[in-house]
Amino acid sequence: MQYCRVLPIVCLTLALFSCRKDHYPAPPPSNPPAKKVLLKDITIPRLPSPYYHFEYNKDSMPIKVDFASGFSIYDVIYNGNKIAEMRNHIIVNTDTLRYLYDNTGKPFMITFINKENVLYRHVNFTYNGNQVKEIDWDIKVGNVGFLIDRKVTFTYNSEGNVKTIIDDRPAHDGIAETISTTGFDDYDDKVNVDDFSLIHDTFHDHLFLFQGFRLQKNNPRKMSFSGGTLGYTTTYTYTYNSDGTPTQKLGQLIFTAGPQTGQKFDVSTFYTYY
């Protein structure tokens, strides 16, 4: 009889415990998915605005890139998750930039094809592991073939951020060779969003987006340049969003060589996001 009185109490206790367990919150995932940075505009005072503009698909991949407020406008075409082509579609230029990949999935070449379907330029990549070591540009010259007109080499610091960029423009068509060196130092620990611009020759050549490599993971607080008779250094301070992306970069440039040696002026860049 005593056993019969105890049994219902035990059963009720177990039932209540079971109900309470069902209402316990689920533990958070151990590795929540990383937030994708959706850069919208980069604005630089006294330059066409926005200087760079991006639009994205539902998978957060860039599908449109606008440079210098319509100077170039690219549609970005994908094969899976890799960039296959960037197609410029302004009235005076409809070039296609076509990406070619090696068996490790890294781009080894980008070809430039004009509206007459003529391949007139290559961009070639060489790597040291996962870091790009050198990028060469060549261009078709009459019946001579393709001649290299730009060679850029990179060194990196221990964190994987670019330390030096040496930009070599060989002599051609009576123009003397020029070599410049850009150095970067004192990196922060926040998120870089504009390293693609480091090698973009602005109004003189096509923009292309990086695929499979980065030049800068973080943001340098010091930059130096020397080339020919010109030299300058720039020191930067940044303002950030809560996710570590920059909202503004403010700097002071000081000329260290050339006719303006000793002169200073302020520079700034502003970033917005979706």
The encoded tokens of residue 199 equal 């090698």
For residue 114, what pLDDT is reported?
Answer: 97
For the segment(s) 39-273, the CATH number from 3.40.640.10, 2.30.40.10, 3.40.190.10, 2.40.160.190 is 2.40.160.190
Evaluated on CA atoms 210, 212, 214, 217, the torsion sign reads: positive
Tokens 């604005």 — which residue?
A: 43
Domain boundaries along the sequence of the chain: 39-273
Tokens 């620990």 — which residue?
A: 189
The encoded tokens of residue 162 equal 């670019």
Per-residue pLDDT 10s for the chain (274 aa) are 443 343 343 333 434 334 444 444 555 554 555 568 999 999 999 999 999 999 999 999 999 999 999 999 999 999 999 999 999 999 999 999 999 999 999 999 999 999 999 999 999 999 999 999 999 999 999 888 999 999 999 999 999 999 999 999 999 888 899 999 999 999 999 999 999 999 999 999 999 999 999 999 999 999 999 999 999 999 999 999 999 999 999 999 999 999 999 999 999 999 999 9
204 C-beta neighbours (distance < 10 Å), count: 7
What is the three-state SS of the chain?
CHHHHHHHHHHHHHHHHHHHHHCCCCCCCCCCCCCCCCEEEEECCCCCCCCEEEEECCCCCEEEEEECCCCEEEEEEEECCEEEEEEECECCECCEEEEEECCCCCEEEEEEECCCCCEEEEEEEEEECCEEEEEEEEEEECCCEEEEEEEEEEEECCCCCEEEEEEEECCECCECCEEEEEEEEEECCCCCCCHHHHCCCHHHCCCCCCCCCCCCCCCEEEEEEEECCEEEEEEEEEEECCCCCEEEEEEEEEEEECCCCCCEEEEEEEEEEC
How far apart are the C-alpha atoms of 111 and 97, rounded to whole Å? Answer: 6
